[in-house]
Amino acid sequence: MVNGVQVKQRWCSTCRVYRPLRSKHCSYCDRCVFRFDHHCTWLGNCVGIGNYRSFLLLVMTATLFFGHSSLITLKVARQCLREASDASVVRRLFVANAGKFLYVAYASLMCLAFSILMLYHLIIMACNLTTNEHVRDYYMERNPFDITCVENYRQVLCSPYGRTYRVSFAGAGAGSAGGGGAAAAAAADSAREVE
């Protein structure tokens, strides 16, 4: 149980282990990844709990780079066009600066694409979801990992391992035969705060 919601722990037949909550086996990397977000073909690696913040930083810096470079290139190209006065000279400058204008269009499109990607990740972070969980609709009723928007951002961006939810282990009942007090103590110890 996680925050009062029953979550099934799954068996990975490839790795032959019970996978931790929110982990998934990546067929490309051939390993189980904790808090699996997605397999990034551009990076050639899985994005999970260990590198999600670095992935967000990469997306943010790519957005800033393409936005800034498109503005600088546009200013340089406009400056060249302002210096020309005759219409034939302006036409020749357009041809001479065609690469700059093509780069401005390309960089603007890339800035828009990375901005949309960053916005998407900000939205799913507010709900404490991974890309995999969001795309596959893992939690039909209620996301057990969703706390509050601020706490979700803090958990993803600031927590050492990104875990601050309450986990209790079912199945170790106090009335099991032959267990008596030891089973009750184990059941009490199993409900603990994971941080």
pLDDT digits (tens, 9 = 90+) for 64-113: 999 999 999 989 888 877 776 666 666 777 777 788 889 999 999 999 99
| Marked catalytic residue, from 12, 15, 29, 40 | 40
Radius of gyration of the chain from Cα atoms? Answer: 26
What is the value of pTM for the model shown?
A: 0.72
CB 185 within 8 A of CB 173: no
15 is known as an active-site residue = no
State the number of CA atoms in the 13 A half-sphere of 32 facing the CB: 16
Of 82, 83, 42, nearest in space to 59 by CA: 42
